[in-house]
Amino acid sequence: MSIRRATLGAGAALAAIAVLLSACSTGPSASGTPPTGEPVNGGRLTYALSTDPLSFNPSGNNAGNDSWTVTRQLFDSLLYLDPNSKKLEPWLAKSWSSNADATAFTFELRDDATFSDGSKVTANDVKATFDDLVANKAKSPGTASFFSGYRTTDAVDADTVTVRFSTPNAAFPANTAGVMLGIVSQATTRIPYDERATGKGVVGSGPFVLQNYTKDVSTTLVRRPDYAWAPAGFATTGAAHLDAIDFTVVPESTVRSGSLTSGSVDVINGVDPTAVGELEGAGTVVSRSTPGYVNGLYFNVSRPATGDLAVRRGIAHAVDAGQIRDTAVTDEFAVGTSILSAATPGWSDQSSWFGFDAAAAGRDLDSAGWVTGPDGIRAKDGNRLSLKLIYMNTSGQTQSAVEVLQQQLRAAGVELVLSGGAAPDFLAAWQSGAFDAAWIAGGASDPDILRTVYSASGTNFYKVKDPTLDGLLTRQLASVDQAVRFGVLADVQKRIAEQYYQVPVYENTGIVATTRGVHGVVLGADSRPDLLVGAWKDPT
């Protein structure tokens, strides 16, 4: 069998939530591993993750992509964002509609979907899921921000549900497609929110069921034989081909790559871009540009130094994004030109605000009163310009990126103290505010993710208090006219750039690698691993 590499690029499309895909001539017809022959039923897929999922509650605080790779198999969503059709498609909801001012959304549910405990998926389950998310917004602030202005969810009848808001929320249908808004049973919502993290008693309607979980070691999912309602864009819409999926935690990227090339595992997440050539020799590499906010510096503006615009601007001018990109990853990762990647609908080029300029960096930091000391580090009023940078150290590319960044800022007289940690450590520091800047990126199919990041109604871990930005973030939700909405989003990105709340460095590219005998592993519109309902393995 020939070895193929699928490279998919995503760009802003005509629909607010669309992602335009293109595949190279040797790639598969869909966003995943190439189909070869007829699918084979049975077998177990061994899948290496970089970190423990942390939570099997779809809306719970978790480890990001690794968590969502697992929970996507357990929980279905109302709608599905098809990366090939560039449209929202039916899933648990067979149709949906909005009122004129985007304050009410009605979903008609299919009548044959069931949870893994055998109970039917009804409007009351949707209501319970959404009411529960809002009730626990303090424990899931990122998810709760999707419900800004939430009034109620009405179960009109068993198969019809209307979600109502007091203010416009044009992004809501697109947000329902994410696994974080995956529908759970009413019984699940009666389990205390924090206790759901282990997955015990948590019931979804997905094609797999959680069988076993050993923290920081492994997770096993088993096939649901009665599953029959995957989105139409999948080659398989019924029960999964695989009998089971064994997720194993392998923190080191080099060890994950070695495990794949040796055949110890079938699939790996968190691929080191520099290992792509080697992995292509072992099977298939699937990649796609990631919509959402880019890798870069995100400043905590409540801290003394980073609360000063002149300091943030000076640091931005000290950053050579191209050098960091070239050192840490490959040219498949575009240099960032805005807080949003160019793959995100509504992206607007803000690159004129950025660019390496050592002289400008010096002038900005001088104007802020920071004077270069004998050791090269600036100081003001007896305090060194020493900043704590938090990041997740689960990939070699991130470590390389922040080390180059550290060198660049030192040349400008800024000491960057690197504080890397596993996902739980990063989340704790991020939420506590005990940092000056964070290195992070986030995938999202809709630009409303910026409201989650910076709005007073979102997580706002960076403590930004900007009425102008808040107003723009609210306005972008008010129009169902895409051109109007994207115009406001351009103003949002300009405001973030001119205030230097963030310094874009490079865009993300989702990369998954498989062995030769694995087929049907796909990336969703958000460039994360999608449903594995169509995955299968060659017989051994």
- At residue 527, the pLDDT reads 87
- What is residue 391's DSSP assignment? E
pLDDT tens-digit series, residues 359-412? 999 999 999 999 999 999 999 999 999 999 999 987 788 999 999 999 999 999
Q: What are phi and psi of 466, to 5 degrees?
A: -140, 95
What would be the CATH architecture of the domain defined by 292-507?
Roll (3.10)
Tokens of 35: 């189909």
- Going from the C-alpha of 331 to that of each of 31, 141, 325, 334, 510, the distances in angstroms are 20, 34, 7, 6, 14
- What is residue 162's DSSP assignment? E
pLDDT tens-digit series, residues 516-528? 999 999 999 888 8
Q: Say how far apart CA 365 and CA 473 lie, in whole Å.
A: 30
Which residues of the chain does CATH 3.40.190.10 include?
5-289+510-537
pLDDT tens-digit series, residues 82-138? 887 768 999 999 999 999 999 999 999 999 999 999 999 999 999 999 999 999 988
- At residue 148, the pLDDT reads 86
- At residue 120, the pLDDT reads 98
DSSP string covering 57-105, please?
STTS---THHHHHHHTTT---SEEEETTTTEEEESSEEEEEE-TTSSEE
pLDDT tens-digit series, residues 24-70? 222 333 356 656 679 999 999 999 999 999 999 999 877 678 999 99
- At residue 14, the pLDDT reads 26
DSSP string covering 336-358, please?
PSSSB-TTSTT----GGG----H
- Going from the C-alpha of 519 to that of each of 511, 532, 535, the distances in angstroms are 15, 10, 5
Mean pLDDT throughout 285-301? 93
Pairing verdict, β 44-49 and 244-249: parallel
Query: Residue 491's CB: how many other CB atoms inside 10 A?
Result: 17
Cβ-count burial 138-169 (b if 16+ within 10 Å, e if not) = eebbbbbbbbbebeebebeeebbbbbbbeebb
Q: Say how far apart CA 378 and CA 315 lie, in whole Å.
A: 12
Q: What are phi and psi of 204, to 5 degrees?
A: -120, -175
pLDDT tens-digit series, residues 208-253? 999 999 999 999 999 999 999 999 989 899 999 999 999 999 999 8
Provide the CA 99 distance to its chain's centre, in angstroms: 29
- At residue 143, the pLDDT reads 82
- What is residue 136's DSSP assignment? T
- At residue 331, the pLDDT reads 85
Residue whose pair of structure tokens reads 């609908």 in the numeric block: 345
Evaluate whether 131 touches 153 at the Cβ level (below 8 Å).
Answer: yes
Q: Which residue would you say has higher pLDDT here, 150 or 282?
A: 150
pLDDT tens-digit series, residues 435-454? 999 999 988 888 999 998 99
Q: What is the CATH number of domain 5-289+510-537?
A: 3.40.190.10
With a CB cutoff of 8 Å and minimum separation 6, the contacts of 112 are 228, 229
pLDDT tens-digit series, residues 417-429? 999 998 889 989 9
Q: Say how far apart CA 210 and CA 228 lie, in whole Å.
A: 18
What is the residue-averaged pLDDT of the chain?
A: 90
Residue 7 has pLDDT above 90, yes or no: no
Q: What are phi and psi of 165, to 5 degrees?
A: -125, 155
Q: In what order do the strands lie in the sheet with 93-98?
A: 93-98, 104-109, 160-165, 150-157
Handedness of CA 137, 141, 142, 145 (dihedral sign): positive
Evaluate whether 133 touches 143 at the Cβ level (below 8 Å).
Answer: yes
Tokens of 288: 């796609």
With a CB cutoff of 8 Å and minimum separation 6, the contacts of 172 are 102, 105, 146, 163, 165
Residues, the chain: 540
Which residues of the chain does CATH 3.10.105.10 include?
292-507
- At residue 423, the pLDDT reads 84
Burial (CB count within 10 angstroms: exposed 0-12, middle 13-18, buried 19+), residue 281 = exposed
Mean pLDDT throughout 264-283? 90
Burial (CB count within 10 angstroms: exposed 0-12, middle 13-18, buried 19+), residue 18 = buried
